[in-house]
Amino acid sequence: MNVLVFNIKTIPDIEAGQAIFDLQGLDDKSTVKAMRHIHQQKTGSETLPLHLHKIVAISIVYRGMGDDMGKWLAVRSLGDENSTETELLQQFFDEVEGRTPTLVSWDGSDVDLPIIHYRALKNSISAPAYWEMGENNAEFRHDNYLNRQHQRHTDLKDVLASYNRHASTPLHDIAKLLGFPGRLGMASSQLWDAFRAGGISGIRHSGETDVLNIYLIYLRYQLMRGEISGDELEKEFTLLREVLDNEPQSGGAHLLEFSKHWV
């Protein structure tokens, strides 16, 4: 098993909004209000298009298994609270380039990865292994990160709905259905206000509890596919509980809370 579960947290891109909509001179709050108003006039929704999102946190669960990996399981957010978007993206793609893991997401095909693509383009990030489609490595011809129906990137929301958007379900609902904690952090609508109030720590913690829910669903998905046995599933659950319950007291309270809410 070589799996990287990921989730991003974003805020409106003030700089892009001012450039695209000619909003120079407005403060941040007024710029975002204008961006949302303009988009609502065009589409009927205040939810900004993906290219106007700026990444402020990338949270991951990494599970490595093998002769040289042992019980390698990590839950964290990349960088630190002061990391720039460029640094976060570079660390994300360093993980992909260095490990070529199976990427696992919830709604990654429609949301997370397109945003990552736009932001990598803006931040001049090079990631040849991620963009490989078989031109230089034949192994990627029939299993790459970009094909929606390949396993190298597994979007659980997509595959569980049989690639039917009308059948898709929120992460929180499926997590609760399976007895997992579900959302313990912030909703997307709360991120901008939290960021403005200096709440980047809470945003990162929210991403970490989200990826934990995704990882737990992925394990059940692997059981359903026959990739792991019932005994192996229980061992993975036990290992994760040990990691969560043994987090340092400093900064690990949200992971301990997640563990307590896990039925």
* Third-level CATH fold of 2-6+58-261: Nucleotidyltransferase; domain 5 (3.30.420)
Contact criterion met (CB below 8 Å) for 103 and 2: no
- Exposed e or buried b for every residue in 246-261, given b needs 16+ CB within 10 A? ebeeeebebbeebbee
Close Cβ partners of 159 (under 8 Å, ≥ 6 residues apart): 221
Which secondary structure element, helix H or strand E, spans residue 9, and what is its range? strand 2-12
With CA atoms as reference, report the closest residue to 92 among 62, 64, 65. 62
Across-strand partners of 183? none
Domain locations in the chain as residue ranges = 2-6+58-261
Backbone angles phi, psi at 164, to 5 degrees: -115, 110
Secondary structure (H, E, C), 66-79: CCCCCCEEEEEECC
pTM: 0.94
pLDDT string in tens for the chain (263-residue length): 799 999 999 999 999 999 999 999 999 999 999 999 999 999 999 899 999 999 999 999 999 865 544 568 999 999 999 999 999 999 999 999 999 999 999 999 999 999 999 999 999 999 999 999 999 999 999 999 999 989 999 999 999 999 998 999 999 999 999 999 999 989 898 999 999 999 999 999 999 999 999 999 999 999 999 999 999 999 999 999 999 988 654 458 899 999 999 98
Contact criterion met (CB below 8 Å) for 145 and 152: yes
Contact criterion met (CB below 8 Å) for 48 and 88: no
